[in-house]
Amino acid sequence: MAINTIKATMQMRRGAEQHFDPDQMTAGEWAVSMDSKKVWMCFSPGIVRRMATYEAFEEDMKIIQQILSTCQDIQEAVEAFEQLAEQHKNHAEIYSKESKSWAVGGTGTRVGEDTNNSKYWNQQSANSASSAASSAATATEKATSAGTSATSAGNSATSAASSAATATQKATEAGSSASAAGQSAQDAAGSAADAKISEDSAAASAGQAEDFSLTSKSYAVGTDGKVRPGDATDNSKYYSDLAQYLTDEAAKLLDQAQKLISAATAGALIPSGTVAFENLPAEPKVGSMYNISNAFVTDERFAEGAGIQYNPGANIYWTADGQWDVMIGVQVTGVKGAAESFYRQGNVNLTPVNIGLGNVPNVATNDQTPTFTQAATRENIASGNKMSVIFGKIMKWFADLKTVAFSGSYTDLTNKPTIPTVGNGTVTIKQAGAQKGTFTMNQNGNTTIELTDNNTVYSLPLAAAGTRGGVKIGYAANGKNYPVQLSNEQMYVNVPWTDTNTNTWKANSKTSEGYVAAGGTNANKVWKTDGSGNPGWRDDANSWRGIQNNLTSTATDQSLSAAQGKALKGMIDALNTGIAFDSGITVSNRFVKIRFTCRVKGNRVLMQGIFYGNSTAVEGQNHAIANISSNIKPSTQIDTIACIQDGNYHYLGSACLTVTANNIQVSSNISMAGRYVQFSVSYDL
DSSP annotation string for 238-298: HHHHHHHHHHHHHHHHHHHHHHHHHHHHTT--EEEEEE-GGG--SSPPTTEEEEE-S-EE-
Closest to 665 measured CA to CA, from 626, 634, 632? 626
DSSP state at residue 105: -
Identify the pLDDT of residue 674. 80
Identify the pLDDT of residue 98. 65
Across 223-231, average pLDDT:
82
Across 377-387, average pLDDT:
93
Chain-centroid distance of CA 184 in Å reads: 49
Identify the pLDDT of residue 60. 64
Output phi, psi for 160, to 5 deg.
Answer: -60, -35
Output phi, psi for 125, to 5 deg.
Answer: -60, -45
Distance CA 286, CA 284 (A): 7
Angstrom CA distances, 228 to 81, 238, 258, stand at 20, 15, 44
**The model's pTM:** 0.23
CB half-sphere exposure, 27, CA atoms < 13 A: 7
Residue 294: pLDDT above 90? Answer: yes
Distance CA 453, CA 289 (A): 108
Residue 376: pLDDT above 80? Answer: yes
Distance CA 491, CA 584 (A): 109
Please say whether the beta carbons of 274 and 290 come within 8 A. Answer: yes
Of 101-110, 142-151, 407-416, the range with the lowest mean pLDDT is 142-151
Distance CA 254, CA 262 (A): 12
Angstrom CA distances, 51 to 21, 23, 40, 42, stand at 16, 17, 6, 11
- Which residues make beta-bridge pairs with 289? 271, 317
Angstrom CA distances, 68 to 77, 208, 246, stand at 14, 51, 15
Residue 643: pLDDT above 90? Answer: no
418 vs 289 pLDDT, higher one = 289
Q: For the segment 603-625, what is each residue's pLDDT rounded down to a tens digit?
A: 667 777 888 888 887 777 667 77
- Give residue 375's pLDDT band: very low, low, confident or very high (50, 70, 90): very high
Of 91-100, 310-319, 394-403, the range with the lowest mean pLDDT is 91-100
Q: What is the mean pLDDT of the chain?
A: 74
Length of the chain: 685
Distance CA 525, CA 157 (A): 41
Sign of the dihedral through C-alpha 325, 329, 332, 333: negative
Closest to 632 measured CA to CA, from 674, 590, 596, 666? 596
Closest to 178 measured CA to CA, from 575, 547, 558, 550? 575
Across 94-98, average pLDDT:
64
Angstrom CA distances, 117 to 93, 100, 125, 197, 478, stand at 19, 9, 12, 14, 79
- Give residue 415's pLDDT band: very low, low, confident or very high (50, 70, 90): confident
Closest to 237 measured CA to CA, from 86, 401, 397? 86
Residue 65: pLDDT above 50? Answer: yes
Residue 180: pLDDT above 60? Answer: no
129 vs 517 pLDDT, higher one = 517
Residue 268: pLDDT above 80? Answer: no
Identify the pLDDT of residue 622. 64
Please say whether the beta carbons of 22 and 39 come within 8 A. Answer: no
Of 9-18, 65-74, 211-220, 368-377, the range with the lowest mean pLDDT is 65-74
Of 246-250, 375-379, 401-405, 673-677, the range with the lowest mean pLDDT is 246-250
Q: Which residues contact 508 (CB under 8 A, 6 or more apart)?
A: 514, 515, 516, 517, 535
Residue 150: pLDDT above 50? Answer: no
Q: For the segment 421-435, what is each residue's pLDDT rounded down to a tens digit?
A: 777 888 898 988 888
Across 20-35, average pLDDT:
87
- Which residues make beta-bridge pairs with 292? 275
Q: For the segment 521-560, what is each residue's pLDDT rounded down to a tens digit?
A: 888 888 889 888 899 988 877 767 788 888 888 888 888 8
Identify the pLDDT of residue 380. 94
- Give residue 143's pLDDT band: very low, low, confident or very high (50, 70, 90): very low
Residue 181: pLDDT above 70? Answer: no
Identify the pLDDT of residue 178. 42
Q: For the segment 549-588, what is each residue's pLDDT rounded down to a tens digit?
A: 888 888 888 888 888 888 777 766 654 444 455 555 677 7
- Give residue 51's pLDDT band: very low, low, confident or very high (50, 70, 90): confident
Residue 82: pLDDT above 50? Answer: yes
Q: Residue 666: which H helix or E strand, with range?
A: strand 663-666
C-beta neighbour count of 165 within 10 angstroms: 10
Identify the pLDDT of residue 200. 64
Residue 205: pLDDT above 80? Answer: no
Residue 13: pLDDT above 80? Answer: yes
- Give residue 165's pLDDT band: very low, low, confident or very high (50, 70, 90): very low
279 vs 432 pLDDT, higher one = 279
C-beta neighbour count of 158 within 10 angstroms: 15
Radius of gyration of the chain (CA): 60
Distance CA 64, CA 263 (A): 12
Residue 463: pLDDT above 60? Answer: yes
Identify the pLDDT of residue 255. 62
637 vs 355 pLDDT, higher one = 355
Distance CA 673, CA 618 (A): 6
Identify the pLDDT of residue 309. 87
Query: What percent of the chain shows pLDDT beyond 70?
Result: 60
- Give residue 246's pLDDT band: very low, low, confident or very high (50, 70, 90): low
Please say whether the beta carbons of 216 and 95 come within 8 A. Answer: yes
Burial of 191 (0-12, 13-18, 19+ CB in 10 A): buried
Distance CA 309, CA 290 (A): 17
Return the beta strands (E) in 260-402 as ranges: 270-275, 288-292, 296-297, 309-310, 315-318, 324-326
CB half-sphere exposure, 439, CA atoms < 13 A: 10
DSSP line for 161-205: HHHHHHHHHHHHHHHHHHHHHHHHHHHHHHHHHHHHHHHHHHHHH
